[in-house]
A = this chain, B = another copy of it.
Amino acid sequence: MTTEAAAEANKPAAKDPRALPDVSGLVVGVLGGTGDQGRGLAYRLATAGQRVIVGSRSADRARTAAEELGLGVRGLENAECATESDVVIVAVPWEGHAKTLESLRDELAGKLVIDCVNPLGFDKKGAYAIRPEEGSAAEQAAALLPQSRVAAAFHHLSAVLLQDPQVAQIDTDVMVLGDNREDTDIVQALAARIPGMRGIYAGRLRNAHQVESLVANLISVNRRYKAHAGLRITDV
């Protein structure tokens, strides 16, 4: 037994990050599902057997993306996508975040909304974090959608790897944030459906800003090392 294994053995049993609810019957909508991140998530979830709807401002673009994805994915205009989904992932560009959510307040009422938007700016020195007035994109979503249950996750995934059918496993953990345990459990379970991925609870929404912003650092990592960096949480 290594010293680390011995240390492990002396600790109380950790909560198994895979002991999670069955989410296989949930319909997952992806707003901004025609963008790289949204399309990549739709592809991975549909490949895992989830029923997926990609949403877009344009029903035509949504249908085209859905046809390209195959795997039973449907494409609908954003409002219909929200209405027909049990869980809605928000993968729109930060610039359109507030406006899109405001316009879908009624359709998203009562739904679990998973925000994965990274508010970033770019200049000649690279990417930098933008701090929304509400604290984070996720807290902005919570403020704009008082009748929805808002969680945050899926921030650190490489859209390149997600969309590459040659990549069988996504070697990364997903930090899941939210103020309601049942909801974060559902989000963790969705993440865990994708081979290689784990969903790890990582705090309340008030601590979402740094998780969203960390993408600026991963962009620096990618440039320096020519990588598609992801994150693993050790000792869990």
Contacts and interface: CB of A to CB of B under 8 A. Distances in A.
A225 interface: yes
Given A15-B225, A226-B11, A233-B231, A210 B214 contact: yes
Number of this chain's copies in the assembly equals 2
B200 A221 contact: yes
A203 interface: yes
A235 B15 contact: no
Contacts of A224: 15, 201
A128 interface: yes
Given A4-B167, A129-B209, A228 B235 contact: yes
Interface in A120-152: 125-129, 131
Contact of A207 (B14, B166, B202, B213): B213
Interface string A1-43: 0111011000111110100000000000000000000000000
Contact of A202 (B200, B206, B221): B221
A17 to B, nearest CB: 7
Interface of A: 2-4, 6-7, 11-15, 17, 125-129, 131, 158, 164, 166-169, 171-172, 175, 177, 200-204, 206-207, 209-211, 213-214, 216-221, 224-236
